[in-house]
Structure 1
Amino acid sequence: MHLLPFLPLLSLTLAAHTVQTWPPQPPTSLLPAAESAELLRLHRKLVEIPSISSSEYEVAQWLASYLRSKALKVELQEVSPKRYNVLAYPSKRDTNILVTSHIDTVPPYWPYYYNETTHVIGGRGSVDAKGSVAPQILAVLALEEKMFNDIGLLFVVGEETGGDGMRAFSEWEKRPTGYDIVIFGEPTAGKLVCGHKGILGLGLRVKGKAAHSGYPWLGVSANDVLVEALGTLAGLRGKLPRSEKYGETTINFGRIEGGVASNVVAETAYAGIGLRLAGGTPDEVRSTITDALGDIKKSVEEQGGELDIEWREGYGPVDIDCDIEGFETTTVNYGTDVPNLKGDHRRFLYGPGTIFVAHSDHEALKRRELEQAVLDFRRLIVTAGRMDKFREKNLEL
């Protein structure tokens, strides 16, 4: 009997009985196989659950269940209806170290994917910031297994839309006390961040008078006023507070709208503007901008219109601790929850993946970056924490 004609059928039969494992193992891994697989499964599940800001209910509930399955005590703090921060700890509630990140993402949702050839992992939140959440959990669980009982975990909502989750935790009457060290997770390309720029937002709202575009002198163009105001603000670039550490304060005209049709003198116009502060204080910048727009505001009011400046809450540059040997350091231009957590504590900011792909349709990082983050978070916790606790127990990492 010749087997050759049956080889294709035999191959299909064997394939049907082959157990497919996930995730596939790369040629080299920085973690033991079981820990690496757990990291990838956790990260995948977190990314697969859509959690755009204000819609974080499902991810918070799932994450709480997962942490309870790891024998951690879990509390849910309601920030607003169906929106919860997740606090977890081993036994004692007041821990010396708090490890934290955010579980909300920017829109739109992009599905999870894993490239088995390149080991690139993508999807909304794969970097910002579920790429920090999963390694943080694995790092803390490994230390808990070694009887280090002084680490808490906090995962908050709303970081991408102003930080209402962290602010709610900071103001929580039942908030644990005593944190000496807080480690924040954000995409920092695997570097320790020594600080980031401040943020100040404002809106320019103009009210004019509508008229036929053939007789523009009968109206007051809100668009004309807004264009003049934006030109004045553009002229402030390079003249606002700067610093050696953070460079120039930048101005972004993020949203502009006005009028209803090309043959109508615009009655209303609006611009949303964001500044990244490299120096000075929000009050100083507010004063500079208010003074710069003073003549325009006076002129439009004399014509029967209005120019209102709507200020949003802001903060100045944020200096962050980065004195841990063995880490590269950097500064970043994006905002974080670091200034939203009040208290007297040392603050560290670290995470895998780069901000350059965050908030994009190609948000992704490599599996090796996730694995390295587990080791780095572990090393950061140990080095920044009370080393005597580890020495007393003769613990090795």
Structure 2
Amino acid sequence: PPGSRFLIDGEPTGSKLATGTRGVLRVRLRARGRAGHSSAPHLFESAIDKLIDALVRLREIALPSHPMFGGTFYTVGLIEGGVAPNVVPAHAAAEILFRIVGDAGDVLRAVKTLEPLVEVEDVLRVPPVRLHTVPGVPTESFPFTTDVPLLSAWGTPLLMGPGSFLVAHTDEEHVALDEFDASIDLYVRLMTELLAGV
């Protein structure tokens, strides 16, 4: 709420305080071709082939690095294209999520070197963040992104919670009860130390 001095976001960090998290840049690549019968591919232009070429080139692009976060990396999360196996595809697209370590514009400029092979659409940007820590509490930087940048009006952000992000979005997502119980004491300690310093 407005007027809060601190915000503790409870994302799974193994009960360590995060020193920072990566940001994200989500882009959509669109390839356009010319549809036709697949028995005469030389007369038409495959959008899927163009998209594949762009994705292969993307692997060769140098992406930014940062001393705390390491290198930028990405996942091609969605690919779509074509209408039937016997038709040279006129359209293809891929959505890519970059885990960024600095300015999203630097990564976007690098990806735009794939044009005009594909169109590059900037879909979403969330900046990387450095976070407040408390002396004596174990810390680590994390490769994921949170909603902390959207909650700046809620006070100085801290990030800590029980569990591991490595099992997030899997069938094994869980938090061990003993870690959950121990995190309660850690949250109380954090709040006590933070409020004592105010």
Partner of 1:270: 93
What is the 5 A alignment of 1:282-301? 282-290=104-112, 292-296=113-117
CA contact (8 A) 1:197 1:332 kept: yes
State the SS of the aligned residue for 1:255: strand
Q: 1:377 to 1:275 in 2, by over 3 A?
A: same
Work out the CA distance in 1 between the residues paired with 2:93 and 2:174.
Answer: 35
CA positional deviation for 1:201 = 0.2
CA distance in 2, matches of 1:244, 1:212: 52
Higher strand share: 2
> Would you say how many aligned residue pairs link Structure 1 and Structure 2?
198
Equivalent residue in structure 2 for 1:317, among 125, 128, 145? 128
> Deviations 1:248-305 (Å, cap 9, x if unpaired)?
10021111121122221111111010100123x1112112211x11352xxxxxxxxx
CA contact (8 A) 1:202 1:273 kept: yes
**Alignment correspondent of 1:329:** 139
Identity of aligned residues (%): 35
CA drift of 1:349 comes to 0.5
Specify the alignment match of 1:32 in structure 2.
Answer: none
User: What 5-or-longer segments of structure 1 have no aligned partner?
Assistant: 1-175, 297-306, 389-397
Partner of 2:125: helix, strand, or coil?
A: coil
Distance 1:180 1:282 in 2: 29
Out of 37, 52, 55, the residue aligned to residue 227 of structure 1 is: 52
Counterpart of 1:370 in structure 2 is 180
Q: Distance in 2 between matches of 1:357 and 1:313?
A: 24
Change (3 A) 1:308 1:295: closer
SS of residue paired to 1:273: strand
C-alpha contact (below 8 Å) 2:33/2:47 kept by paired residues: yes
Which letter maps to 2:188?
R
CA apart distance, 1:360 = 0.9
Paired position in structure 2 for 1:206:
31
SS in structure 1 at match of 2:19: strand
Once the two structures are TM-superposed, the CA of residue 203 in structure 1 deviates from its matched residue by: 0.7
Higher RCO, 1 or 2 (CA under 8 Å, sep at least 6)?
2
Task: Spell out, residue by residue over 1:87-134, the C-alpha distance to the aligned partner (whole angstroms, 9 max, x if none).
Answer: xxxxxxxxxxxxxxxxxxxxxxxxxxxxxxxxxxxxxxxxxxxxxxxx
Q: CA deviation at 1:316?
A: 2.8
Could you tell me how far 1:361 is from its partner in structure 2? 0.6
Which one of 186, 190, 206 corresponds to residue 11 of structure 2?
A: 186
* TM-score normalized with structure 2 length: 0.93
Report SS of the residue matched to 2:99: strand
Give the Cα–Cα distance (whole angstroms) in 1 for the partners of residues 101 and 166 of structure 2.
19
Give the 5 Å matches for 1:352-363. Answer: 352-363=162-173
CA contact (8 A) 2:82 2:90 kept: yes
CA contact (8 A) 2:70 2:101 kept: yes
CA contact (8 A) 2:13 2:163 kept: yes
- 1:229 maps to a residue whose letter is A
8 Å Cα contact 1:196-1:319 kept in structure 2: yes
Letter in 2 for 1:214: S
Superposed structure 1 runs of 4+ greater than 3 Å apart: none
Q: What's 1:252 paired with? A: 75
Report how far residue 345 of structure 1 moved: 3.4
Structure having the higher helix fraction is 1
Deviation at 1:343, TM superposition (A): 3.4
What is the CA deviation profile of residues 52-110 of structure 1, one whole-angstrom value per residue up to 9, with x for unaligned ones?
A: xxxxxxxxxxxxxxxxxxxxxxxxxxxxxxxxxxxxxxxxxxxxxxxxxxxxxxxxxxx
Q: CA deviation at 1:181?
A: 1.2
TM-aligned CA deviation for residue 387 of structure 1: 5.0
* Among 156, 159, 162, the residue aligned to 1:349: 159
Q: What SS does the aligned partner of 2:7 have?
A: strand
Contiguous gaps of at least 5 residues in structure 2: none
**What SS does the corresponding residue of 1:362 show, helix, strand or coil?**
coil
SS in 2 for 1:379: helix
